[in-house]
Amino acid sequence: MTWLAIAGSAIVTYIIRAFAFQVAMPSALPRRVARYLDALPAAIIAALAGPAVLVPGGALTRGPELAAAVVVIALVAWRRNLLAGVIAGVATVALLRLVLAA
C-alpha cells in the first residue's frame, strides 16, 4: 500500500509539473481548471497524511495527532493558509505530547 501511495504521488507530481509548461502558454486556463490546480496540493497532503494520522497501524488514534488534525483543518479552512495550518498542527502535537507526558 505504501508503494502504491508513493507511485501515485510520483505520477501526480509529474503530471502537475508537466502541466506547468502548458500553463506557461499564452492561453488562459478555464476557471474550473485553475480552481482545481489551486486545491490540488492540499488534497494530496490530506490523502497522504490522513490515514497516517487517523489510523496509524490499523487502529483509530485518540492521541494528540487527532487533535492536531482538527486544528489544522479548522485553521486552513478559516485562514486559507496551508503553511500556518501545518505550523499550528506541529505546535499542537508538541504541546499535547509535552502536557500528556507529564
For residue 96, count other CB atoms closer than 10 A to its CB: 17
Supply the DSSP symbol for 43.
Answer: H
20-38 pLDDT tens trace:
766 666 567 788 888 888 8
pLDDT of 61 strictly over 70: yes
Q: Which residue do the cell numbers 482545481 mark? A: 36
The residue among 44, 40, 43, 61 whose CA lies nearest residue 52 is: 61
Q: What is the pTM of this model?
A: 0.57
Percentage of residues in the chain having pLDDT higher than 90: 17
